[in-house]
Structure 1
Protein backbone atom coordinates (compact mmCIF):
# COMPACT_ATOMS: atom_id res chain seq x y z
CA UNK A 1 0.00 0.00 0.00
CA UNK A 2 1.25 3.49 -0.80
CA UNK A 3 1.79 6.26 1.69
CA UNK A 4 0.29 7.92 3.62
CA UNK A 5 -1.24 5.00 5.45
CA UNK A 6 -3.87 5.45 8.18
CA UNK A 7 -5.21 2.79 10.52
CA UNK A 8 -8.09 3.59 12.85
CA UNK A 9 -7.95 1.61 16.09
CA UNK A 10 -10.86 0.69 18.34
CA UNK A 11 -9.07 0.80 21.72
CA UNK A 12 -9.30 -2.32 23.84
CA UNK A 13 -9.04 -2.30 27.64
CA UNK A 14 -5.47 -2.63 28.87
CA UNK A 15 -6.28 -5.97 30.51
CA UNK A 16 -7.99 -7.53 27.47
CA UNK A 17 -6.46 -10.98 26.85
CA UNK A 18 -3.84 -11.24 24.15
CA UNK A 19 -5.40 -13.83 21.83
CA UNK A 20 -3.28 -12.87 18.85
CA UNK A 21 -4.75 -12.15 15.45
CA UNK A 22 -8.20 -11.09 16.71
CA UNK A 23 -6.66 -7.71 17.48
CA UNK A 24 -6.82 -7.00 13.76
CA UNK A 25 -10.63 -7.01 13.98
CA UNK A 26 -10.32 -3.70 15.83
CA UNK A 27 -8.36 -2.06 12.98
CA UNK A 28 -9.84 -0.16 10.03
CA UNK A 29 -7.68 0.98 7.13
CA UNK A 30 -8.63 4.38 5.74
CA UNK A 31 -7.84 5.51 2.20
CA UNK A 32 -5.84 8.72 2.03
CA UNK A 33 -8.66 10.50 0.19
CA UNK A 34 -11.35 9.44 2.69
CA UNK A 35 -12.37 11.24 5.93
CA UNK A 36 -11.08 9.63 9.12
CA UNK A 37 -12.04 11.87 12.08
CA UNK A 38 -15.13 13.75 13.17
CA UNK A 39 -15.16 17.54 13.56
CA UNK A 40 -16.04 17.04 17.25
CA UNK A 41 -12.86 15.00 17.86
CA UNK A 42 -11.19 16.48 20.95
CA UNK A 43 -7.68 15.88 19.64
CA UNK A 44 -8.28 18.49 16.94
CA UNK A 45 -10.51 20.81 18.98
CA UNK A 46 -8.47 20.95 22.19
CA UNK A 47 -5.32 18.91 21.71
CA UNK A 48 -6.71 16.55 24.34
CA UNK A 49 -4.70 13.45 23.64
CA UNK A 50 -1.23 11.92 23.60
CA UNK A 51 1.02 10.63 20.85
CA UNK A 52 4.29 8.96 19.93
CA UNK A 53 6.31 9.09 16.72
CA UNK A 54 8.63 6.25 15.85
CA UNK A 55 10.95 5.67 12.94
CA UNK A 56 10.79 2.79 10.46
CA UNK A 57 14.12 2.16 8.73
CA UNK A 58 14.14 -0.28 5.81
CA UNK A 59 11.10 -2.10 7.14
CA UNK A 60 12.16 -2.22 10.80
CA UNK A 61 10.15 -0.28 13.38
CA UNK A 62 12.62 1.24 15.84
CA UNK A 63 12.27 1.08 19.64
CA UNK A 64 8.63 -0.06 19.58
CA UNK A 65 8.34 -1.11 23.22
CA UNK A 66 10.01 2.03 24.67
CA UNK A 67 7.63 4.18 22.60
CA UNK A 68 4.61 2.18 23.75
CA UNK A 69 5.73 2.39 27.38
CA UNK A 70 5.97 6.17 27.06
CA UNK A 71 2.54 6.29 25.38
CA UNK A 72 1.12 4.46 28.40
CA UNK A 73 2.88 6.86 30.78
CA UNK A 74 1.52 9.88 28.92
CA UNK A 75 -1.98 8.40 29.02
CA UNK A 76 -1.67 7.89 32.77
CA UNK A 77 -0.57 11.50 33.35
CA UNK A 78 -3.49 12.77 31.26
CA UNK A 79 -6.10 10.51 32.91
CA UNK A 80 -6.75 8.67 29.65
CA UNK A 81 -7.70 4.98 29.64
CA UNK A 82 -4.57 2.82 29.74
CA UNK A 83 -3.76 1.61 26.21
CA UNK A 84 -3.62 -2.08 25.44
CA UNK A 85 0.03 -2.29 24.42
CA UNK A 86 -0.31 -5.66 22.71
CA UNK A 87 -3.03 -4.18 20.49
CA UNK A 88 -0.87 -1.17 19.64
CA UNK A 89 2.09 -3.43 18.90
CA UNK A 90 -0.08 -5.47 16.54
CA UNK A 91 -1.21 -2.26 14.83
CA UNK A 92 2.41 -1.23 14.25
CA UNK A 93 3.20 -4.69 12.85
CA UNK A 94 0.26 -4.50 10.47
CA UNK A 95 1.29 -1.05 9.29
CA UNK A 96 4.91 -2.09 8.72
CA UNK A 97 3.68 -5.05 6.66
CA UNK A 98 1.51 -2.77 4.51
CA UNK A 99 3.85 0.16 3.83
CA UNK A 100 7.05 0.34 1.71
CA UNK A 101 9.96 -1.60 3.15
CA UNK A 102 12.77 0.66 1.94
CA UNK A 103 13.96 4.03 3.22
CA UNK A 104 13.05 6.03 6.31
CA UNK A 105 9.41 6.35 7.31
CA UNK A 106 7.61 7.74 10.35
CA UNK A 107 4.68 6.22 12.24
CA UNK A 108 2.63 8.45 14.51
CA UNK A 109 0.48 6.85 17.20
CA UNK A 110 -2.37 8.93 18.65
CA UNK A 111 -4.66 8.25 21.60
CA UNK A 112 -7.34 10.91 22.08
CA UNK A 113 -10.08 11.44 24.63
CA UNK A 114 -12.42 10.96 21.73
CA UNK A 115 -15.47 12.69 20.34
CA UNK A 116 -16.94 15.38 22.57
CA UNK A 117 -19.49 13.78 24.91
CA UNK A 118 -18.60 10.43 23.37
CA UNK A 119 -18.42 7.18 25.33
CA UNK A 120 -14.84 6.16 24.58
CA UNK A 121 -11.45 7.35 23.35
CA UNK A 122 -10.38 7.28 19.74
CA UNK A 123 -7.05 6.10 18.43
CA UNK A 124 -5.19 5.86 15.18
CA UNK A 125 -1.88 5.20 13.52
CA UNK A 126 -0.57 7.27 10.62
CA UNK A 127 2.47 6.33 8.54
CA UNK A 128 4.20 8.68 6.15
CA UNK A 129 7.55 9.20 4.47
CA UNK A 130 10.08 10.85 6.75
CA UNK A 131 11.63 14.14 5.76
CA UNK A 132 15.15 13.94 4.38
CA UNK A 133 17.26 14.81 7.41
CA UNK A 134 20.56 13.63 5.93
CA UNK A 135 21.82 17.19 5.23
CA UNK A 136 21.17 18.44 8.77
CA UNK A 137 22.66 15.26 10.27
CA UNK A 138 25.88 16.22 8.49
CA UNK A 139 25.82 20.01 8.86
CA UNK A 140 24.23 20.38 12.31
CA UNK A 141 21.86 23.09 13.57
CA UNK A 142 22.05 26.56 15.03
CA UNK A 143 20.07 26.76 18.26
CA UNK A 144 18.90 29.40 20.71
CA UNK A 145 17.94 29.05 24.36
CA UNK A 146 14.43 30.13 25.33
CA UNK A 147 12.96 30.51 28.81
CA UNK A 148 10.16 27.96 29.20
CA UNK A 149 8.64 30.15 31.92
CA UNK A 150 8.91 27.51 34.67
CA UNK A 151 11.44 26.75 37.36
CA UNK A 152 12.71 23.22 38.02
CA UNK A 153 10.07 22.35 40.61
CA UNK A 154 6.95 23.31 38.69
CA UNK A 155 5.93 19.79 37.63
CA UNK A 156 5.78 18.60 41.23
CA UNK A 157 3.86 21.70 42.35
CA UNK A 158 1.48 21.77 39.38
CA UNK A 159 1.02 18.29 37.87
CA UNK A 160 -2.01 19.54 35.91
CA UNK A 161 0.42 21.24 33.51
CA UNK A 162 1.11 17.73 32.12
CA UNK A 163 4.73 18.60 31.44
CA UNK A 164 5.92 14.99 31.58
CA UNK A 165 3.40 13.78 28.99
CA UNK A 166 3.80 13.82 25.21
CA UNK A 167 0.52 15.57 24.48
CA UNK A 168 -1.00 16.84 21.25
CA UNK A 169 -0.91 20.41 22.63
CA UNK A 170 2.13 21.50 20.62
CA UNK A 171 1.31 25.17 19.97
CA UNK A 172 4.01 26.42 22.38
CA UNK A 173 6.63 24.09 20.88
CA UNK A 174 5.85 25.26 17.35
CA UNK A 175 5.90 28.91 18.48
CA UNK A 176 9.38 28.31 19.95
CA UNK A 177 10.62 26.97 16.61
CA UNK A 178 9.17 29.98 14.79
CA UNK A 179 10.96 32.25 17.26
CA UNK A 180 14.22 30.44 16.53
CA UNK A 181 13.70 31.02 12.82
CA UNK A 182 12.96 34.71 13.42
CA UNK A 183 16.32 34.95 15.18
CA UNK A 184 18.16 33.28 12.33
CA UNK A 185 18.49 29.89 14.04
CA UNK A 186 17.13 26.42 13.29
CA UNK A 187 16.04 25.06 16.66
CA UNK A 188 15.45 25.84 20.32
CA UNK A 189 16.63 24.52 23.66
CA UNK A 190 14.21 25.27 26.48
CA UNK A 191 15.66 26.35 29.82
CA UNK A 192 13.99 26.85 33.17
CA UNK A 193 13.45 30.32 34.60
CA UNK A 194 16.13 29.51 37.21
CA UNK A 195 18.73 28.67 34.56
CA UNK A 196 18.72 24.92 33.89
CA UNK A 197 18.51 23.00 30.63
CA UNK A 198 15.27 21.16 29.81
CA UNK A 199 14.80 19.86 26.25
CA UNK A 200 14.09 20.96 22.72
CA UNK A 201 10.56 21.39 21.35
CA UNK A 202 10.91 18.02 19.58
CA UNK A 203 14.17 16.63 20.94
CA UNK A 204 16.27 15.65 23.94
CA UNK A 205 19.57 17.35 24.78
CA UNK A 206 22.86 15.49 25.23
CA UNK A 207 26.11 17.26 26.11
CA UNK A 208 29.70 16.02 26.38
CA UNK A 209 32.37 17.23 28.77
CA UNK A 210 35.51 15.20 28.21
CA UNK A 211 34.46 11.55 28.12
CA UNK A 212 31.26 12.06 30.13
CA UNK A 213 27.91 12.39 28.35
CA UNK A 214 25.08 14.05 30.26
CA UNK A 215 21.41 14.79 29.77
CA UNK A 216 18.97 16.66 32.05
CA UNK A 217 17.77 14.46 34.90
CA UNK A 218 14.35 12.91 34.18
CA UNK A 219 11.58 14.73 36.02
CA UNK A 220 7.93 15.53 35.72
CA UNK A 221 8.90 18.50 33.56
CA UNK A 222 11.15 16.73 31.06
CA UNK A 223 10.05 14.03 28.63
CA UNK A 224 12.38 11.05 28.91
CA UNK A 225 13.67 10.54 25.36
CA UNK A 226 13.61 7.09 23.77
CA UNK A 227 16.44 7.95 21.36
CA UNK A 228 18.50 9.53 24.15
CA UNK A 229 18.17 6.37 26.26
CA UNK A 230 19.16 4.21 23.32
CA UNK A 231 22.24 6.34 22.70
CA UNK A 232 23.21 6.20 26.37
CA UNK A 233 23.00 2.39 26.24
CA UNK A 234 25.22 2.46 23.15
CA UNK A 235 27.74 4.77 24.85
CA UNK A 236 27.89 2.63 28.00
CA UNK A 237 28.49 -0.50 25.91
CA UNK A 238 31.48 1.28 24.38
CA UNK A 239 32.98 2.28 27.71
CA UNK A 240 31.76 5.86 28.03
CA UNK A 241 30.35 7.38 31.22
CA UNK A 242 26.80 8.74 31.11
CA UNK A 243 25.02 10.95 33.60
CA UNK A 244 21.49 12.14 34.33
CA UNK A 245 21.75 15.41 36.23
CA UNK A 246 20.81 19.07 36.43
CA UNK A 247 22.66 20.97 33.71
CA UNK A 248 23.06 24.72 33.99
CA UNK A 249 22.99 27.04 30.99
CA UNK A 250 26.67 27.79 31.55
CA UNK A 251 27.52 24.08 31.38
CA UNK A 252 25.59 23.88 28.13
CA UNK A 253 27.53 26.79 26.70
CA UNK A 254 30.93 25.38 27.74
CA UNK A 255 30.29 21.79 26.60
CA UNK A 256 32.77 20.03 24.32
CA UNK A 257 29.83 18.99 22.13
CA UNK A 258 26.02 19.26 22.18
CA UNK A 259 23.46 17.15 20.32
CA UNK A 260 19.70 17.33 19.87
CA UNK A 261 18.32 13.81 19.46
CA UNK A 262 14.91 12.55 18.38
CA UNK A 263 13.34 9.47 16.86
CA UNK A 264 13.12 10.54 13.22
CA UNK A 265 15.72 13.30 12.83
CA UNK A 266 18.12 11.18 14.95
CA UNK A 267 21.21 12.98 16.34
CA UNK A 268 22.17 16.43 15.09
CA UNK A 269 25.08 18.48 16.40
CA UNK A 270 24.52 22.00 17.72
CA UNK A 271 27.05 24.06 15.79
CA UNK A 272 26.00 27.44 17.18
CA UNK A 273 24.25 28.42 20.41
CA UNK A 274 22.76 31.88 20.94
CA UNK A 275 24.97 33.20 18.14
CA UNK A 276 28.19 31.70 19.49
CA UNK A 277 30.00 28.96 17.58
CA UNK A 278 30.09 25.58 19.38
CA UNK A 279 32.69 22.80 19.10
CA UNK A 280 31.47 19.84 17.04
CA UNK A 281 32.42 16.17 17.39
CA UNK A 282 31.85 15.18 13.76
CA UNK A 283 33.22 11.59 13.99
CA UNK A 284 31.00 10.78 16.96
CA UNK A 285 27.98 12.36 15.31
CA UNK A 286 28.58 10.10 12.32
CA UNK A 287 28.80 7.06 14.62
CA UNK A 288 25.55 8.11 16.32
CA UNK A 289 23.81 8.29 12.95
CA UNK A 290 25.14 4.90 11.89
CA UNK A 291 23.96 3.33 15.15
CA UNK A 292 20.55 5.00 15.14
CA UNK A 293 19.88 3.83 11.58
CA UNK A 294 20.67 0.22 12.53
CA UNK A 295 17.79 -2.06 13.65
CA UNK A 296 16.98 -1.30 17.29
CA UNK A 297 14.46 -2.98 19.56
Structure 2
Protein backbone atom coordinates (compact mmCIF):
# COMPACT_ATOMS: atom_id res chain seq x y z
CA UNK A 1 0.00 0.00 0.00
CA UNK A 2 1.18 3.53 -0.82
CA UNK A 3 -0.21 6.51 1.06
CA UNK A 4 -0.43 9.65 -1.09
CA UNK A 5 -1.06 13.18 0.17
CA UNK A 6 -0.99 16.33 -1.97
CA UNK A 7 -0.09 19.69 -0.50
CA UNK A 8 -3.20 21.71 -1.29
CA UNK A 9 -4.15 25.12 0.12
CA UNK A 10 -7.79 23.98 0.31
CA UNK A 11 -6.80 21.13 2.62
CA UNK A 12 -4.75 22.37 5.62
CA UNK A 13 -3.73 18.83 6.64
CA UNK A 14 -3.02 17.78 3.05
CA UNK A 15 -5.32 16.16 0.49
CA UNK A 16 -5.34 12.36 0.73
CA UNK A 17 -5.52 10.74 -2.71
CA UNK A 18 -5.63 7.24 -4.17
CA UNK A 19 -2.15 6.30 -5.38
CA UNK A 20 -3.65 3.57 -7.59
CA UNK A 21 -5.57 6.04 -9.78
CA UNK A 22 -4.42 8.88 -12.05
CA UNK A 23 -3.60 12.02 -10.09
CA UNK A 24 -1.02 13.99 -12.08
CA UNK A 25 -1.56 15.96 -15.28
CA UNK A 26 0.39 14.69 -18.29
CA UNK A 27 1.24 18.36 -18.89
CA UNK A 28 3.04 18.69 -15.55
CA UNK A 29 6.64 19.72 -16.19
CA UNK A 30 7.82 17.21 -13.63
CA UNK A 31 6.60 14.57 -16.10
CA UNK A 32 7.43 16.20 -19.42
CA UNK A 33 10.81 17.63 -18.46
CA UNK A 34 11.86 16.15 -15.15
CA UNK A 35 11.64 19.71 -13.85
CA UNK A 36 11.32 19.25 -10.13
CA UNK A 37 13.04 18.12 -6.96
CA UNK A 38 12.58 15.37 -4.39
CA UNK A 39 13.76 13.88 -1.13
CA UNK A 40 13.51 10.31 0.19
CA UNK A 41 13.57 9.68 3.94
CA UNK A 42 13.35 6.46 5.94
CA UNK A 43 10.41 5.92 8.27
CA UNK A 44 11.13 3.39 11.01
CA UNK A 45 10.15 2.85 14.64
CA UNK A 46 7.54 5.59 14.32
CA UNK A 47 10.06 8.26 13.24
CA UNK A 48 10.86 9.89 9.90
CA UNK A 49 14.64 9.84 10.18
CA UNK A 50 16.65 13.05 9.63
CA UNK A 51 13.55 14.98 8.56
CA UNK A 52 15.13 18.35 9.42
CA UNK A 53 18.12 17.58 7.18
CA UNK A 54 15.91 16.43 4.30
CA UNK A 55 13.76 19.54 4.46
CA UNK A 56 16.86 21.73 4.62
CA UNK A 57 18.38 20.05 1.57
CA UNK A 58 15.06 20.38 -0.27
CA UNK A 59 15.13 24.13 0.34
CA UNK A 60 18.63 24.29 -1.15
CA UNK A 61 17.57 22.23 -4.18
CA UNK A 62 14.55 24.51 -4.69
CA UNK A 63 16.74 27.61 -4.51
CA UNK A 64 19.26 26.13 -6.97
CA UNK A 65 16.44 25.32 -9.40
CA UNK A 66 14.59 28.65 -8.90
CA UNK A 67 11.58 26.62 -7.82
CA UNK A 68 8.89 27.84 -5.43
CA UNK A 69 7.84 25.10 -3.00
CA UNK A 70 5.47 24.99 -0.01
CA UNK A 71 6.58 26.17 3.41
CA UNK A 72 8.34 23.70 5.69
CA UNK A 73 5.42 23.47 8.10
CA UNK A 74 3.11 22.51 5.23
CA UNK A 75 5.47 19.67 4.36
CA UNK A 76 5.60 18.53 7.98
CA UNK A 77 1.81 18.51 8.21
CA UNK A 78 1.41 16.57 4.96
CA UNK A 79 4.06 14.07 6.08
CA UNK A 80 2.22 13.53 9.34
CA UNK A 81 -1.04 12.92 7.44
CA UNK A 82 0.62 10.52 4.99
CA UNK A 83 2.39 8.52 7.69
CA UNK A 84 -0.84 8.18 9.67
CA UNK A 85 -2.69 6.97 6.57
CA UNK A 86 0.08 4.48 5.81
CA UNK A 87 0.18 3.10 9.36
CA UNK A 88 -3.59 2.67 9.37
CA UNK A 89 -3.50 0.45 6.27
CA UNK A 90 -0.23 -1.47 6.02
CA UNK A 91 2.38 -0.68 8.65
CA UNK A 92 5.78 -2.25 7.98
CA UNK A 93 9.12 -2.26 9.74
CA UNK A 94 10.56 0.29 7.34
CA UNK A 95 8.95 2.63 4.81
CA UNK A 96 10.14 5.31 2.40
CA UNK A 97 8.73 8.82 2.74
CA UNK A 98 9.16 10.60 -0.59
CA UNK A 99 8.65 14.35 -0.96
CA UNK A 100 8.18 15.65 -4.51
CA UNK A 101 7.78 19.18 -5.86
CA UNK A 102 7.47 19.99 -9.57
CA UNK A 103 7.14 23.22 -11.55
CA UNK A 104 3.59 22.18 -12.44
CA UNK A 105 1.76 22.68 -15.71
CA UNK A 106 3.49 25.21 -17.95
CA UNK A 107 1.87 28.63 -17.96
CA UNK A 108 -0.11 28.18 -14.75
CA UNK A 109 2.54 29.47 -12.37
CA UNK A 110 1.52 26.78 -9.88
CA UNK A 111 3.70 23.87 -8.88
CA UNK A 112 2.61 20.41 -7.77
CA UNK A 113 3.76 18.94 -4.46
CA UNK A 114 3.03 15.65 -2.75
CA UNK A 115 4.18 13.13 -0.16
CA UNK A 116 4.22 9.37 -0.70
CA UNK A 117 4.80 6.69 1.91
CA UNK A 118 5.45 3.13 0.72
CA UNK A 119 7.24 0.01 1.98
CA UNK A 120 11.04 0.15 1.79
CA UNK A 121 12.52 -2.12 -0.91
CA UNK A 122 13.62 -5.50 0.39
CA UNK A 123 16.76 -5.33 -1.78
CA UNK A 124 18.04 -2.35 0.18
CA UNK A 125 17.81 -4.21 3.49
CA UNK A 126 19.57 -7.25 2.01
CA UNK A 127 22.41 -5.16 0.59
CA UNK A 128 22.82 -3.41 3.93
CA UNK A 129 23.64 -6.81 5.42
CA UNK A 130 25.46 -8.56 2.56
CA UNK A 131 27.26 -5.62 0.95
CA UNK A 132 27.55 -4.75 -2.73
CA UNK A 133 29.91 -5.21 -5.63
CA UNK A 134 30.67 -1.94 -7.40
CA UNK A 135 32.23 -0.68 -10.62
CA UNK A 136 33.84 2.68 -11.35
CA UNK A 137 32.16 4.68 -14.13
CA UNK A 138 33.28 7.90 -15.78
CA UNK A 139 30.68 10.60 -14.99
CA UNK A 140 31.62 12.45 -18.18
CA UNK A 141 32.69 15.78 -16.69
CA UNK A 142 35.66 17.09 -14.71
CA UNK A 143 35.68 17.85 -10.98
CA UNK A 144 35.39 21.65 -11.45
CA UNK A 145 32.26 21.70 -13.59
CA UNK A 146 30.02 22.87 -10.72
CA UNK A 147 31.78 26.25 -10.40
CA UNK A 148 32.12 26.63 -14.16
CA UNK A 149 28.55 25.71 -15.14
CA UNK A 150 26.01 26.39 -12.36
CA UNK A 151 23.13 25.83 -14.80
CA UNK A 152 23.88 22.10 -14.64
CA UNK A 153 22.28 22.19 -11.15
CA UNK A 154 25.07 20.17 -9.58
CA UNK A 155 24.35 19.41 -5.96
CA UNK A 156 20.57 19.72 -6.35
CA UNK A 157 18.39 16.62 -5.91
CA UNK A 158 16.31 16.90 -9.07
CA UNK A 159 13.84 14.51 -10.69
CA UNK A 160 16.21 14.07 -13.66
CA UNK A 161 17.51 10.65 -12.65
CA UNK A 162 17.59 8.94 -16.07
CA UNK A 163 21.41 8.92 -16.19
CA UNK A 164 21.66 7.53 -12.65
CA UNK A 165 19.26 4.70 -13.46
CA UNK A 166 21.09 3.97 -16.73
CA UNK A 167 24.35 3.67 -14.79
CA UNK A 168 22.80 1.13 -12.41
CA UNK A 169 21.39 -0.91 -15.32
CA UNK A 170 24.84 -0.88 -16.94
CA UNK A 171 26.42 -2.14 -13.73
CA UNK A 172 23.91 -4.98 -13.44
CA UNK A 173 24.56 -6.02 -17.04
CA UNK A 174 28.20 -6.43 -16.00
CA UNK A 175 27.26 -8.46 -12.94
CA UNK A 176 27.77 -5.68 -10.37
CA UNK A 177 25.28 -4.19 -7.92
CA UNK A 178 26.16 -0.52 -7.95
CA UNK A 179 28.35 2.27 -9.27
CA UNK A 180 30.80 4.86 -8.00
CA UNK A 181 31.14 7.78 -10.41
CA UNK A 182 34.57 9.23 -11.13
CA UNK A 183 35.19 12.60 -12.80
CA UNK A 184 37.02 12.79 -16.10
CA UNK A 185 40.08 14.10 -14.23
CA UNK A 186 40.13 11.10 -11.89
CA UNK A 187 38.36 12.34 -8.76
CA UNK A 188 35.86 10.15 -6.88
CA UNK A 189 32.35 11.64 -6.87
CA UNK A 190 29.35 9.66 -5.57
CA UNK A 191 27.05 6.76 -6.33
CA UNK A 192 23.89 7.17 -8.44
CA UNK A 193 21.79 7.11 -5.26
CA UNK A 194 24.39 7.25 -2.49
CA UNK A 195 27.35 9.00 -0.89
CA UNK A 196 30.79 7.38 -0.69
CA UNK A 197 32.31 6.91 2.76
CA UNK A 198 35.69 5.36 3.58
CA UNK A 199 37.58 4.67 6.80
CA UNK A 200 41.13 4.11 7.99
CA UNK A 201 42.51 2.99 11.34
CA UNK A 202 45.97 3.99 12.58
CA UNK A 203 46.47 2.53 16.02
CA UNK A 204 43.82 4.11 18.21
CA UNK A 205 43.07 6.81 15.64
CA UNK A 206 40.04 6.25 13.42
CA UNK A 207 39.50 8.44 10.39
CA UNK A 208 36.41 8.84 8.23
CA UNK A 209 36.67 10.43 4.77
CA UNK A 210 34.11 11.39 2.13
CA UNK A 211 34.50 13.08 -1.28
CA UNK A 212 34.65 16.86 -1.30
CA UNK A 213 31.45 18.76 -2.09
CA UNK A 214 33.38 21.18 -4.33
CA UNK A 215 33.06 18.61 -7.11
CA UNK A 216 29.33 19.31 -7.28
CA UNK A 217 28.09 16.12 -5.64
CA UNK A 218 24.89 15.99 -3.61
CA UNK A 219 25.45 16.66 0.12
CA UNK A 220 24.49 13.38 1.83
CA UNK A 221 22.14 13.68 4.80
CA UNK A 222 23.17 10.25 6.11
CA UNK A 223 26.86 11.01 5.62
CA UNK A 224 26.37 14.29 7.49
CA UNK A 225 24.65 12.55 10.39
CA UNK A 226 27.38 9.88 10.56
CA UNK A 227 30.09 12.56 10.56
CA UNK A 228 28.37 14.37 13.45
CA UNK A 229 28.18 11.14 15.47
CA UNK A 230 31.75 10.15 14.60
CA UNK A 231 33.06 13.56 15.67
CA UNK A 232 31.38 13.11 19.06
CA UNK A 233 32.99 9.67 19.33
CA UNK A 234 36.47 11.10 18.71
CA UNK A 235 36.98 10.11 15.07
CA UNK A 236 39.00 12.31 12.72
CA UNK A 237 37.06 13.54 9.69
CA UNK A 238 38.20 14.41 6.18
CA UNK A 239 36.77 15.61 2.87
CA UNK A 240 38.65 14.35 -0.20
CA UNK A 241 39.60 14.84 -2.84
CA UNK A 242 39.74 11.07 -3.25
CA UNK A 243 41.04 8.96 -6.13
CA UNK A 244 39.98 5.43 -7.11
CA UNK A 245 43.23 4.12 -5.62
CA UNK A 246 42.33 5.68 -2.27
CA UNK A 247 39.13 3.65 -2.18
CA UNK A 248 40.90 0.43 -3.11
CA UNK A 249 43.28 0.94 -0.18
CA UNK A 250 40.55 1.68 2.38
CA UNK A 251 40.04 -0.42 5.50
CA UNK A 252 36.32 0.06 5.15
CA UNK A 253 34.21 1.46 2.33
CA UNK A 254 30.49 2.10 2.27
CA UNK A 255 27.75 3.56 0.11
CA UNK A 256 25.44 5.46 2.44
CA UNK A 257 21.94 6.70 1.78
CA UNK A 258 18.75 7.45 3.65
CA UNK A 259 17.00 4.21 2.71
CA UNK A 260 19.82 1.66 2.44
CA UNK A 261 21.71 3.35 5.29
CA UNK A 262 25.25 1.95 5.70
CA UNK A 263 25.94 -0.49 2.84
CA UNK A 264 29.45 -2.03 2.78
CA UNK A 265 31.31 -2.26 -0.52
CA UNK A 266 32.71 -5.77 -1.02
CA UNK A 267 34.61 -5.15 -4.26
CA UNK A 268 35.31 -2.58 -6.96
CA UNK A 269 35.86 -3.75 -10.53
CA UNK A 270 36.47 -7.23 -9.13
CA UNK A 271 39.08 -6.15 -6.56
CA UNK A 272 38.14 -7.09 -2.99
CA UNK A 273 37.84 -4.24 -0.47
CA UNK A 274 38.95 -4.75 3.12
CA UNK A 275 36.31 -4.57 5.83
CA UNK A 276 37.41 -3.78 9.36
CA UNK A 277 34.69 -5.47 11.41
CA UNK A 278 35.22 -3.15 14.37
CA UNK A 279 34.89 0.01 12.29
CA UNK A 280 31.78 -1.35 10.60
CA UNK A 281 30.18 -2.22 13.92
CA UNK A 282 30.85 1.23 15.36
CA UNK A 283 29.45 3.01 12.32
CA UNK A 284 26.41 0.71 12.26
CA UNK A 285 25.67 1.64 15.88
CA UNK A 286 25.92 5.32 14.97
CA UNK A 287 23.51 4.91 12.06
CA UNK A 288 21.04 2.95 14.21
CA UNK A 289 20.99 5.83 16.68
CA UNK A 290 20.21 8.48 14.07
CA UNK A 291 16.63 9.79 14.35
How far does residue 218 in structure 1 lie from its aligned partner after superposition? 1.6
| TM-score normalised according to structure 2 size | 0.92
How far does residue 135 in structure 1 lie from its aligned partner after superposition? 2.3
Q: List, as ranges, runs of 4+ consecutive aligned residues in structure 1 with deviation greater than 4 Å.
A: none
| Partner residue in 2 for 1:175 | 166
How far does residue 253 in structure 1 lie from its aligned partner after superposition? 1.6
Would the aligned equivalents of 1:163 and 1:222 in 2 still touch at CA under 8 Å?
Answer: yes
| Partner residue in 2 for 1:16 | none
Alignment gaps of 5+ in structure 2: none
How far does residue 281 in structure 1 lie from its aligned partner after superposition? 2.6
Q: Deviations over 1:231-257 (max 9, x none)?
A: 111111111111123112221221111
Matched, 1:125 2:125: no
| Number of residue pairs matched by the alignment | 283
| Partner residue in 1 for 2:83 | 96
Structure 1: distance between partners of 2:125 and 2:280: 12
Matched, 1:208 2:199: yes
| SS of equivalent residue, structure 2 residue 214 | coil
Matched, 1:107 2:94: no
| SS of equivalent residue, structure 1 residue 185 | coil
Would the aligned equivalents of 1:207 and 1:214 in 2 still touch at CA under 8 Å?
Answer: yes
| TM-score normalised according to structure 1 size | 0.90
| Partner residue in 1 for 2:147 | 156
Matched, 1:35 2:22: yes
| CA gap 1:26/1:46 in 2 versus in 1, 3 angstroms | farther
Q: 2:231 aligns with which of 220, 230, 236?
A: 236
Matched, 1:9 2:7: yes
How far does residue 82 in structure 1 lie from its aligned partner after superposition? 4.6
Q: 1:147 aligns with which of 120, 123, 138?
A: 138
Would the aligned equivalents of 1:43 and 1:112 in 2 still touch at CA under 8 Å?
Answer: yes
